[in-house]
Structure 1
Amino acid sequence: MSDYAHVPGGKLKLKGDDGKKKKKKRSHTTDDRARREADVEVAEKRAVAVSSSSGSKDKERERDRERDYDSREREDESAASPAPTGRRMTDAERRFEETQRKRREERARKGAHLTHKERVNAFNKKLDSLSEHHDMPRIGPG
């Protein structure tokens, strides 16, 4: 019994555990808003500078181009990040989302012109073309 008399107390010590807690990072949504506002101001200044150096028709064209460009950028940002998490998508993620969207649209276009009866017939043809390996096994007597 003397071998088991001493029992150490306290919690287990783990490697790399200093007992310090990591601080959570704050989201930088306010920084993103400020950056967007600054971009809009720069675009407006650019439009004013261009308008002062060219004719009135050219001014209107440039303003329209700037507005279209800014609106497209806002649409791209809103489409790229559906939730305002503050996380930016990488190029690969953006391409992946785009291909997924295209595939969904293609699938919807394919199925949109078929009636229910035509879909059922197509499904039955597909099942008939499969090998016997895919048949349901017979269960029970008979």
Structure 2
Amino acid sequence: MYSNIVTGKLKLKGSTPEAPSHGKKKKKSKKDKEPKEEVVNNNNNDNEEENSAIKVSKTLTEAEKRHREKLAKKEQKRIDQLVSKSHKEKIEEYNKYLSSLSEHHDVPKVGPG
């Protein structure tokens, strides 16, 4: 009666089967605990960033490129606005905003009195 029921996780087409996990963690050896020193070459990092940007730009459609450019412009505009104000100006603007709020936003009195 129930012989045609499959038990276990559902599997998607084309996915690779996962190796079963037994829940045991491997212990790290002393060699793994020591920090590894890496030599960083700035020229390679710049080239890698440029290459990844080129690869991304090849895979994006024109609409996606325009969208990303628009987002970058908005972000730059927001950053420029934040940088243009001094701390004093920001505080004055915030106080002005708080004074314009209605009493509905005030902290209610709690307790007797």
TM superposition score category, shorter chain reference: 0.3 to 0.5
Normalized against structure 1, the TM-score is what? Answer: 0.39
Normalized against structure 2, the TM-score is what? Answer: 0.47
Specify which structure has the higher proportion of helix. 1
Q: Which has the higher contact order (CA 8 A, sep 6+)?
A: 1
